[in-house]
Chains A and B, each alone.
Chain A
Amino acid sequence: MFKKFVIGAAAVAVGGAAIAADISGAGATFPAPIYARWAEIYSKQTGQRMNYQAIGSGGGIKQIKAGTVDFGASDKPLKPQELSEAGLYQFPTVVGGVVPVVNFNGLRAGRLHLTGEVLGDIFLGKIRRWNDPAITKLNPELRIPPAAITVVHRSDGSGTSFLFTSYLSMKNAEWAKKVGASDAVEWPTGLGGKGNDGVTAFVKQTAGSIGYVEYAYAKQNNLPYVAVQNKAGKFVPANAANFAAAAAGARWTSAPGNYLLLLDQPGAATWPITGATFILMRRNQTNAANGQAVLKFFDWAYKNGDAEAAKLDFVPLPLAVKAAIRKQWATNVTAGGKPVYVSR
């Protein structure tokens, strides 16, 4: 009797899928505000609820590998090899930018120009004063006092640190050799603040300091940021349009496993330290209904979520990229060999 009931219930759940169970995700803290906002609107429209736990990118990767969640989220994309070993598939959702911020001589946003190499030398502790020739040479029109530089970095593991140190590794050979790129590195100098809040507070409180935060934190706290030289040699301001420019130029369709960093992209308007945040799903879904619900949710978000994303200082992916990603789902997320969701 009980057995019959269970089979019946299962049939209803798989066949009907009218009321799918709550879908669960965990991972990166950076996109958590927009995922929460999307989930709120989506559940009002469809009744489908989503439970997202912002436990950090590393935690998101661990949870999806362990199979405790329907999707994981990470600011750090997994390499194609790691994806296939774990039987996972990843796709980007939104784009954001990391900006170096300074507290220095009443400087206004974007006035100080730095290159990636000089940034690397500052964070290596090689450049210790603001009037170092390497800095004054890039800023002939600024009058720079001989103040000491205090480096501020994240103390907790973070996707922001991953993007920033990856960028430094690309532009500064010594950084790549001595420190490298990761969520958490062995910082050669400076002090660590906990979270974007901690870094923001230390930079605000310390004259002559330089740190790095997500763009939204610099904007909301009115912290002057540094204009970093992009691949085209231009010093561009940090803003949504320039993050979008970096995303537009990226070749998503030819990147294996969607492993793509948006750092140092070509183009006159690109912001050099731009990054996407990613969703991780199992290629072979054991619970087809939940897999379908996850993809339905992000399909909806791709189509309807841009305005909300922009309000929260996130940059939506270009339309062409979204279309390519939606097409990938049919072949990359399956249950019993059949696609769980085909986007129209």
Chain B
Amino acid sequence: MSDPTAAGRSPLGEDIFRYLCLSAATLLLVILAGVVVSLAIGGWPAFAKFGFGFLTAERWNPVDDIYGAAGPIVGTLVTSFLSLAIALPLAIGVAVFLTEFAPERLARPIAVAVELLAGIPSIVYGMWGLFVFAPWFAQTVQQPIAMSVTPGSWLDTLTQGVPNGANIFTASIILAIMILPYMAAVFRELLLTVPAQVREAGFGIGCTSFEVTWRICIPYVRTGVLGVIMLGLGRALGETMAVTFIIGNSHGFPKSLFDSGSTIASTIANEFAEASTDMHSAALIALGLVLFLITFGVLALARLLLARTTR
């Protein structure tokens, strides 16, 4: 009679436990629905007035109460994907190094450092970006490029911008640094789930370390990789403070890599406290809903991809 599920135990306790878990799960759904509904209600005046044009128009004019969110939406997507493109290879590199190559004495401090990086508040990244990284970037990268490119060439068009390092590219780099630790940590956990026999079998048939990593371990965890990407992307989409400090905050489409722009989150952070008219607040809340839907869409897409690759 050591089996805990056997008769003799109180079924009441089991039921209570089950309903507690059920209500916790339900509560989560209710909260989520509540967020969506309140954002939709709050943002409704903006959607009603501007319709679909709210998503496609570039003008953002609080004086005349004309709001178009295309600039922040594009800025959000560009910075998020750019930061992902920078952070992903680095995260894979860190995780592979930690699991495959690093000696124990080195692996531990690096793993701790990665966790520390994740613990730094975003405002600190923002300040560091504004006072240290942006000026450095302007001097050592942006200005030499601006001096050396032929005027009118495609590279010139791509690197146009104010020479002080406040632009979507530096914002993406800061974002990449911020999402890197999460991605690296999860990726490392994933690689640790590869059974030792599988890895050793690879070495057994004469594979090199590179081949074991690239052909065996990473394909083995590939569904998880998508999860890592989505985790990073989800964070990058919503990151606010650090981006606000360094992106340059101009509404409208960024015209080049080194142009200043804005994201949905930075626009809300900048203007919500002082939104003067009701339409202004409505437009900002509508922006919040758009961000929510983008994040939701990205995660849904990930689920879809995941379902297809596992099938």
Contact = CB atoms under 8 A, between A and B. Distances in A.
Contact of A157 (B165, B166, B273): B273
Contact of B271 (A57, A150, A156): A156
Interface of A: 55-59, 150, 155-158, 179-187, 190-194, 198, 201-202, 205-207, 209
Interface stretch (B1-9, B223-231, B247-255): B247-255
Contact of B276 (A55, A157, A179): A157
Contacts of A179: 63
B162 A205 contact: no
B59 interface: yes
B276 A191 contact: no
Given A205-B138, A209-B164, A58 B248 contact: no
Given A191-B250, A205-B164, A186 B273 contact: no
Contact of B249 (A150, A191, A201): A191
A283 to B, nearest CB: 22
Contact of B63 (A59, A158, A182): A182
Given A58-B276, A183-B276, A198-B245, A205 B165 contact: yes
Interface string B57-92: 001111110000000000000000000000000000
Contacts of A193: 166, 249
Given A155-B244, A186-B59, A194-B245, A201 B274 contact: no
5 contacts: A155-B262, A157-B273, A157-B275, A180-B64, A186-B60
Interface in B211-255: 244-245, 248-251
Contacts, number: 97
Given A190-B250, A205-B164, A206-B163, 12 more contacts: A55-B273, A155-B249, A155-B266, A155-B270, A183-B276, A186-B59, A187-B251, A191-B166, A192-B248, A198-B245, A201-B131, A205-B138
Interface string B255-285: 0000010100010011101111000100000
Contacts of B266: 155
A322 B99 CA distance: 72
Interface of B: 59-64, 130-131, 134-135, 138, 162-166, 244-245, 248-251, 260, 262, 266, 269-271, 273-276, 280
A58 B274 contact: yes
A184 B275 CA distance: 8
Contacts of B262: 155, 192
Contacts of B138: 205-206
Nearest to A56: B273
Given A157-B271, A190-B250, A185 B245 contact: no
A206 to B, nearest CB: 4
Q: Identify the interface centre among B130, B135, B248, B249: most chain A CB within 10 Å of its CB.
A: B249
Contact of B273 (A59, A180, A207): A59
Contacts of A56: 273-274
Contacts of A190: 162, 250
A58 B260 CA distance: 26
A328 B249 CA distance: 42
B59 to A, nearest CB: 7
Contacts of B59: 186
Contacts of A183: 62, 274, 276
B162 A191 contact: yes
A72 B250 CA distance: 30
A81 to B, nearest CB: 15
Contacts of A186: 59-63, 251
Given A181-B63, A191-B248, A206 B162 contact: yes
Given A191-B249, A198-B245, A206-B164, A157 B274 contact: yes
Nearest to A55: B273
Interchain residue pairs A-B with the least CB separation, the first 5: A157-B274, A192-B249, A155-B249, A58-B274, A56-B273
Nearest to B62: A184
Contacts of A55: 273
Contacts of A187: 250-251
A158 B130 CA distance: 20
A341 to B, nearest CB: 30
Nearest to B138: A205
A153 to B, nearest CB: 9
A207 B251 CA distance: 23
Contacts of B260: 191-192
Nearest to A183: B274
A57 B249 contact: no
